Amino acid sequence: MGEKFQHILFTIFLCFLSSHAQNLQTYIVQLHPEGLSRSSFTSRFHWHLSLLEKTVSSEDDLSSRFMYSYSSAIEGFAAQLSPLEAEALKKSQQVLAVRPDRRLEIQTTYSYKFLGLSPTREGGAWMKSRFGRGAIIGVLDTGIWPESSSFDDRGMDPIPRKWKGFCQEGRDFSTSNCNRKIIGARYFSKGHRVASLVSSPSTLVEYVSARDSHGHGTHTASTAGGAPVPMANVLGYGAGEARGMAPGAHIAVYKVCWYSGCYSSDILAAIDAAIQDGVDVLSLSLGGFPVPLYEDIIAIGSFRAMQHGISVICAAGNNGPIQNSVANEAPWITTVGASTLDRRFPAVVRLGNWKFLYGESMYPGIGSPAAEKELGIVYFEGGNKGSGFCLRGSLPVVKVKGKLVVCDRGINGRAEKGQIVKEAGGAGMILANTELNLEEDSVDVHVLPATLIGSEESYQLKSYINLTRSPKARIFFGGTVIGKSRAPAVAQFSSRGPSFSDPSILKPDMIAPGVNIIAAWPQNLGPSALPEDPRRVNFTVMSGTSMACPHVSGLAALIHSAHQKWTPAAIKSALITTADITDHQGKPIMDGDKPASLFSIGGGHVNPERAIDPGLVYDIQPNEHLIHLCFLGYSRSDIFSITHKNVSCHEILHKNKGFSLNYPSFSVIFRPGAIRKMFKRRVTNVGSANSIYSLEVTAPEGVSMRVKPRRLIFKQPNQTLSYKVWFISKKRMNMESTRFSQGYLTWVNHRSISSTVRSPIAVTWDTRK
Ligand SMILES: *[C@@H]1O[C@H](CO)[C@@H](O)[C@H](O)[C@H]1NC(C)=O
Ligand SMILES: *[C@@H]1O[C@H](CO)[C@@H](O)[C@H](O)[C@H]1NC(C)=O
Ligand SMILES: *[C@@H]1O[C@H](CO)[C@@H](O)[C@H](O)[C@H]1NC(C)=O
Ligand SMILES: *[C@@H]1O[C@H](CO)[C@@H](O)[C@H](O)[C@H]1NC(C)=O
């Protein structure tokens, strides 16, 4: 949470500064989609410019105010405006909405970790999809390090003929940095530059090009579509072959995230470009806190992308375990939470009293006596300069020298704390989780011997320090251990549902590996991502829903390659209905010490081997989303700005009584007086002719269910059949009773082991009036 706290501070700081700098800030102006044809302008650009011209006082140089012209993701433009000018523009007939630029973030925890490799998925799915050949994954992130072996194009197919994108030159990036793996690379920085002009004249080195100076984009792109690289490792840890999820897929890079964050004006420009360029999948490991869909530029841009048949895959956010924190939750987006792998990097603390505290770390000094020596411990609890958190300049050098320093998690980055302890003369560090982090154990490649312990262990450590005259401890590094622990489990930080803006859709949709993921890394950055870190690596470890998202982007590319005609909704359905709800021991997926709720795992943990051949899919046509938005109670103008369709919800609601979006999961909400809910669903046979499915139901506690029919007999491939399901609440609703319950509705084809089509059911009793 500390890491988040810092984000908030930073955001407030930016707002404060920008309000002082001549009052100009970036606004995204959305126009009527038919405005151009109705106007007398021959080019979109001139039309957009003319609208700006009418608004801005004449002394100003228009071209410096104008930022982007959008045509595919929305019709409109981005410009620097004063609040008064923005108000004036809103009044124009041609203007649908004027939205201030919004700062979003990449979805990784702030310290950068080393990791083992991405899990390899051998077998049928890769064969059937030809490793994702022909598919194009667009990655919106911090750019790419093109020289990484993960982006080698040996054995790659030629660039698909439909591709219209290009390789944009810039600082240390030329067209020769693109190849048959990286087929496009562009950067979008105008929104970022406007915002950072007012915040700080940046002294940070940043490539004004698609080259990655941060590492995050290289990591995510290689997770989605990286080529196989033998003998990858992070300073000896997690050694093995690194592979992206779709090693045969092409990658298109859209750099939208810079040191100051990722601005919605830049993101929208990238989505706009990606639609025109011809990507098949868009991977967005970025986001913010949930906002209504009509305020959400990612939701709006991805609606248009979805209409073009592009699967948009987004990180759910790192604001867990807080309820309602899931972001990027539009029903046309695939929203991915994070889970753990069964790989551990034990680094156990032995206290002076011979009590052992379990911790994890990737510090590479295994076996070196300096790294594994008993040392005195110091902890500056409640220090007034933030010394408990080991903030820069807070540690008293005299007391720290040669000691193991305890640092609480929060506020500054984990790896940065290690650097600060090292600079103060400390010999080692124990990072202590607080109650906010519980036992979550994202590892780092620290610059000094260090380990991370859970909150339970932290309590024991601090009690020992309190009660001991000269406390001591020693860290034992245990290398890489695979298969000993239960996995997957939900990552503590993974954002949770129910969805804030649309509780009628279960979000997140699924979970995928997002803790301690090893993937490619810029060759001029240390594995901790700290500027002071002189070590050089080709791979490092990171954690976050940012890492989970590109796993699913790669899998979506595989499914797209295997089934070229499938819609984004069908691809998402395949991923949700085939996901695993048990861990590798066959027991329920855990979230901390409790079985995970559907609001943390959605359909469950992705299972590529099954998703490639799901048997049945729940498909959705783009227009069905209109009806759904009417059911959400959105206004005509809000719906118009998302969908560009002018609808009368009054009529639609009248014509579509009992409508529900054909989503592959169910979110049932009972309110006082409404204890019976009916849902209609359609399933399309994507398996063989003459497939017979029978029903299996696990009714949620407190609910009885009725389904009609109970058998689905498909004569043809591609045949669609419907069913209805009724949910009847058996509970008396009062403020004290449990508010949630969950179950499953599953169609099983007994003749084919792989065809089990499972829909999760989340039930909420909403006692609010
Ligand atoms: C350690 O002692 C301090 C001050 O006496 C107290 O506030 C704190 O709660 C103690 N911590 C533990 C873990 O016992
Ligand atoms: C990183 O990869 C390059 C080849 O791309 C290789 O020459 C170099 O030795 C590798 N570095 C490490 C630390 O493995
Ligand atoms: C939508 O249709 C209504 C009624 O037909 C009309 O009054 C309104 O101007 C239209 N709105 C837009 C944005 O086209
Ligand atoms: C399946 O049916 C839909 C409409 O019923 C049609 O558009 C589509 O082309 C069909 N797909 C195949 C593979 O036959």
Q: pLDDT tens for residues 503-558?
A: 999 999 999 999 999 999 999 999 988 888 999 999 999 999 999 999 999 999 99
- Cβ(538) – ligand 2 distance below 6 Å: yes
Task: Return the number of other C-beta atoms located less than 10 Å from residue 155's C-beta.
Answer: 13
Q: For residue 332, how far is its CA from the centre of ligand 4 (angstroms)?
A: 20
CA–CA gap between residue 290 and residue 297 (Å, rounded): 11
Given pLDDT bands bounded at 50, 70 and 90, which one contains residue 724?
Answer: very high
**Is the pLDDT reported for residue 14 higher than 50?**
no
pLDDT at 113 over 80: no
Compute the CA torsion angle 552, 553, 557, 562 (nearest 10 deg): 20
Q: What is the DSSP-derived secondary structure letter of residue 197?
A: H
What is the structure's pLDDT at 122? 43
Name the closest ligand to CA 521: 2
Q: Whole-angstrom Cα distance, residue 663 to residue 667?
A: 10
* Structure confidence by residue, pLDDT tens digits, 231-266: 888 887 878 788 889 999 999 999 999 988 899 999
- CA 157 to ligand 4 center in whole angstroms: 28
Calpha distance 603→110 (Å, rounded): 28
* pLDDT computed for residue 672 by the predictor: 83
- Report the candidate in 500, 492, 499, 611 with the shortest Cα–Cα distance to residue 551: 611
Q: What is the mean pLDDT of the segment spanning 195-213?
A: 74
Contact between residue 280 and residue 135 where contact means Cβ atoms under 8 Å apart: yes
* Residue 12 pLDDT: 30
> Are the CB atoms for 445 and 518 separated by under 8 Å?
no
Lowest mean pLDDT among 117-126, 182-191, 526-535, 575-584: 117-126
pLDDT band of residue 59 (cuts 50, 70, 90) is low
CB 718 within 8 A of CB 684: yes
Residue 733 is predicted with a pLDDT of: 67
CA dist list (Å): 193 to 202, 257, 261, 458, 606: 10, 11, 11, 42, 38
The residue whose CA is least distant from atom 6 of ligand 2 is 538
CB 29 within 8 A of CB 95: yes
Amino acid code (one letter) for 541? V
| Residues whose CB falls within 8 Å of the CB of residue 488, separated by 6 or more in sequence, listed in order | 339, 340, 341, 342, 511, 513, 580, 583, 584, 589, 605
Backbone angles phi, psi at 85, to 5 degrees: -65, -40
Please state, in angstroms and rounded to a whole number, the distance separating the CA atoms of residues 167 and 83: 36
8 A C-beta contact, residue 550 and residue 224: yes
Testing ligand 3's pocket by substitution, the residue of 94, 646, 650, 651 carrying the most ligand atoms inside 8 A of its CB is: 646
Give how far the C-alpha of residue 258 lies from the chain's centroid of Cα atoms, to the nearest Å: 17
Predicted confidence (pLDDT) per residue in 440-497, tens digit: 888 889 999 999 999 999 999 999 999 999 999 999 888 888 777 788 999 999 999 9
The pLDDT, as a whole number, for residue 1 is 27
The catalytic residue positions are: 141, 216, 546
Going 322 to 323 to 327 to 328, the CA torsion angle's sign is: positive
- Among 746, 651, 633, 644, which residue's Cα sits nearest to residue 697? 746
Helix axes 545-562, 568-577, angle to 10 degrees: 110
Nearest residue (CA) to ligand 3, atom 6: 646
Q: Which of 17-21, 31-35, 61-65 has the highest mean pLDDT?
A: 31-35
Q: Please state, in angstroms and as integers, the Cα–Cα distance from residue 274 to each residue in 216, 420, 570, following that order.
A: 20, 41, 21
* Ligand with the closest atom to the CA of 646: 3
At 459, give phi and psi (nearest 5°). -65, -45
Q: Which ligand is nearest to the CA of 432?
A: 1
Name the phi and psi angles at 453, rounded to 5.
-115, 155
CB-ligand 1 contact for 584 (6 Å cutoff): no
Q: How far is the CA of 642 from the centre of ligand 2 (A)?
A: 46
Is 165 in contact with 277 (CB distance < 8 Å)? yes
- The answer to whether residues 569 and 618 touch, using CB atoms and an 8 Å cutoff, is yes
Task: List for the chain the helix, strand, coil content (%; round to 5).
Answer: 25, 30, 45
CB atoms within 10 A of CB 532: 13
In sequence order, what DSSP letters do the residues of 40-86 get, joined into one string? S-SSHHHHHHHHHHHHS-TTS-HHHHEEEEESSS-SEEEEEE-HHHH
Indicate whether 365 pLDDT > 90: no
Judge if the beta carbon of residue 149 lies within 6 A of ligand 2.
yes
Instruction: For residue 526, give the ligand nearest its CA.
Output: 2
Mutate to test the pocket of ligand 4, among 718, 720, 722 (most ligand atoms within 8 A of CB): 718
pLDDT in tens, 276-333: 999 999 999 998 888 899 999 999 999 999 999 999 999 999 998 999 999 999 999 9
The three-class DSSP label of residue 122 is: coil
Q: What is the rounded distance in angstroms from the CA atom of residue 582 to the CA atom of residue 487?
A: 9
Query: Model confidence over 576-600: pLDDT tens digits?
Result: 999 999 998 899 999 988 999 999 9
Model pLDDT for residues 613-646, shown as the tens digit of each residue = 999 999 999 999 999 999 999 999 999 999 989 9
Q: Which 3 state secondary structure label does DSSP give 571? A: helix
Radius of gyration over every alpha carbon of the chain, rounded to an integer in angstroms: 26
pLDDT band at 367 (very low <50, low <70, confident <90, very high): low
For the cut 70, the answer to whether the pLDDT of residue 720 exceeds it is yes
Cβ 647 vs Cβ 630: under 8 Å: yes
Instruction: Pick the residue whose CA is nearest to atom 6 on ligand 4.
Output: 718
At which residue do the structure tokens 């004569």 appear?
A: 715
Ligand 4 atom with the shortest distance to the CA of 717: 14
What would the pLDDT profile of 664-706 be if each residue is shown by its tens digit? Answer: 999 999 988 888 999 999 999 999 999 999 999 999 999 999 9
What are 376-429's pLDDT values in tens digits? Answer: 999 998 777 788 999 998 999 999 999 999 999 988 889 999 999 999 999 999
Whole-angstrom distance, CA of residue 91 vs CA of residue 103: 25
Predicted confidence at residue 378, as pLDDT, reads: 95
**Does 736 score more than 80 pLDDT?**
no
For the chain, percent of residues with pLDDT exceeding 90 = 69
Pocket test for ligand 1, best of 377, 433, 462, 468 (most atoms within 8 A of CB): 462
CB 472 within 8 A of CB 352: yes
Record the tokens describing residue 311, joined without a space.
Answer: 């699967």
Contact 489, 753 (CB under 8 A): no
What angle (nearest 5°) sits at the alpha carbon of residue 44, between those of residues 39 and 49? 90
- Answer whether 634 contacts ligand 3 (Cβ < 6 A): no
Q: What is the pLDDT of residue 621?
A: 95
Domains and CATH numbers, the chain: 25-100 (3.30.70), 111-115+130-342+489-611 (3.40.50.200), 347-479 (3.50.30.30), 615-620+661-765 (2.60.40.2310)
- What is the pLDDT, as a whole number, of residue 368? 59
pLDDT score for 117: 24
* H-helix or E-strand spanning residue 29: strand 25-31
